[in-house]
Structure 1
């Protein structure tokens, strides 16, 4: 598995001794829009998280974000692909692992972020584009629910602009 993702999870015995509870590899799966392939690694139902929750966080139902919780996922942006413009009520940490990604804001301003770069996305309208015609851009995203940004006391809503 050339692009597989290894997930190692720890936990505790009933006596409180640290143990490994899982050591598995996953492939990303192409999403219906066809612009990226993703694999959710873990989610938490709450923030702060509960270390006593024995749920396999990978199996918890989560959208792009998880209301009240957090999500970590691997995203492979496919060559020449782009996402729609969108906004989530979350703080997103994007760590570019390989390739490069173009981050465009709703005012058509953009930046290219290469491998090793880290993006902190704070609830703005944005889209992702892989400028390469050959190379996948792999990004690890950690998304935590956040209070929406307010303009003149009015919360900016989540949206998807096609």
Structure 2
């Protein structure tokens, strides 16, 4: 898991990690960016605080500020394309998220 965190920190703000003792995955995170995730091949599970979504080829996810993690449970390779557009929360939203 330490290697995963190192890779995460290379492409993301380490402050975006939101892991707590009851988190459904050890790499739960969120960012201020607008994220587009597109499954090109295989399957990926999008893990949220209270649910999971199985994504298959051509599935598209658009999120901003959503606490999430990714899990490939298929045993096969998955290819995804991610497009991230930098953003910044409005101050009241940033304050509310900081209290969580």
Show the counterpart of 1:122: 64
Show the counterpart of 1:84: 27
* 1:100 counterpart (37, 43, 47): 43
Show the counterpart of 1:139: 80
Q: For the residues of structure 2 that align with 1:149 and 1:99, how far apart are their CA atoms?
A: 36
TM-score, with length taken from structure 1? 0.43
Q: Is the 8 A contact 1:123 1:149 kept in 2?
A: no
Give 1:149 deviation, angstroms: 6.4
SS of match in other structure, 1:97: strand
Bigger fraction of residues in helix: 2
Q: For the residues of structure 2 that align with 1:95 and 1:88, how far apart are their CA atoms?
A: 18
Could you tell me which runs of 5 or more consecutive residues in structure 1 were left unpaired when the two chains were aligned.
Answer: 1-31, 37-61, 66-81, 158-162
Bigger fraction of residues in strand: 1
SS of match in other structure, 1:139: strand
Could you tell me which runs of 5 or more consecutive residues in structure 2 were left unpaired when the two chains were aligned.
Answer: 14-24
Give 1:147 deviation, angstroms: 2.1
Matched residue count: 81
Q: For the residues of structure 2 that align with 1:115 and 1:148, how far apart are their CA atoms?
A: 31
In angstroms, what is the RMSD of aligned CA positions? 2.7
TM-score, with length taken from structure 2? 0.67
Q: Is the 8 A contact 1:103 1:111 kept in 2?
A: yes
Q: For the residues of structure 2 that align with 1:154 and 1:143, how far apart are their CA atoms?
A: 19
